[in-house]
C-alpha cells in the first residue's frame, strides 16, 4: 500500500509542470502557443526574428542560425557551429543545456544545468505539437522563452527542409 501511495505522489510531482507547445494553425510554423504565451514571427516567413509576448527573439547575426538573443540579457546558441542538436542558454549567471536525447533525432530533447526536464513531440516525427516537461521555476522569464524556442526552431527548420 505504501509503495502505491509513494508511486502516485511521485507521478503527480513529476507531471505538475507538463504543458503543451503547439502551432496555432495546422502546417504553419509562424505562430505557436504555450500556456498563455504566443510566439510569432515578426514578419511573415521571416524565421530570424520572433516575438513572444513583447520579448524579442532574433538571430545575433544575419543568416547565422547558431546564435540568438532573447530579450535584453539572454543568449541562445548552439554548442558547436552548425550543430543544432546541442544548445546552451545563458542568462543572469544561470546556464541551461538542451541536447537531443538520440543523435540525429530531433523529436526529443533533454534539459540539464540550472533546469531539468524533457521536451518531446507528442507524436513521433510530428513537429507541430510538443509535450514540455521542464521545471522552469528558478529561471528568468527570457530564459524560459529561449528554452521553449528550441522546439519551435527545430519544427520550422525540419519542416522547411522537407
> Which pLDDT score is estimated for 162?
62
**Cα angle for residues 83, 26, 147 (degrees, 5° grid):** 35
* Residue linked to cell 543572469: 92
- The boundaries of the domain holding residue 67 are 2-160
Distance CA 115, CA 102 (A): 20
Neighbours of 154 (CB within 10 A): 21
> Which pLDDT score is estimated for 1?
54
Whose CA is closest to 131, among 31, 17, 10?
Answer: 17
> Which pLDDT score is estimated for 160?
73
Distance CA 1, CA 38 (A): 44
> Which pLDDT score is estimated for 20?
95
> Which pLDDT score is estimated for 136?
92
> Which pLDDT score is estimated for 5?
42
Domain count, the chain: 1
Mean pLDDT in order along the chain per 10 residues (162 residues): 45 60 88 96 90 96 93 96 95 97 92 97 90 95 97 89 66
Distance CA 31, CA 4 (A): 42
Amino acid at each position: 500500500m505504501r509503495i502505491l501511495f509513494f508511486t502516485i505522489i511521485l507521478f503527480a510531482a513529476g507531471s505538475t509542470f507538463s504543458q503543451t507547445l503547439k502551432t496555432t494553425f495546422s502546417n504553419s510554423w509562424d505562430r505557436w502557443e504555450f500556456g498563455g504565451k504566443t510566439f510569432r514571427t515578426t514578419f511573415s516567413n521571416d524565421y530570424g526574428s520572433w516575438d513572444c509576448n513583447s520579448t524579442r527573439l532574433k538571430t545575433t547575426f544575419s543568416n547565422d542560425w547558431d546564435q540568438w538573443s532573447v530579450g535584453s540579457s539572454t543568449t541562445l546558441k548552439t554548442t558547436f557551429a552548425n550543430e543544432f542538436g546541442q544548445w546552451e542558454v545563458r542568462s543572469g549567471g544561470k546556464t541551461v543545456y538542451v541536447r537531443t536525447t538520440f543523435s540525429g533525432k530531433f523529436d526529443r530533447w533533454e534539459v540539464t544545468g540550472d533546469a531539468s526536464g524533457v521536451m518531446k513531440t507528442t507524436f513521433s516525427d510530428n513537429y507541430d505539437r510538443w509535450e514540455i516537461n521542464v521545471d522552469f521555476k528558478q529561471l528568468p522569464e527570457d530564459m524560459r522563452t529561449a528554452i521553449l524556442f528550441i522546439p519551435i526552431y527545430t519544427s520550422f527548420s525540419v519542416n522547411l527542409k522537407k
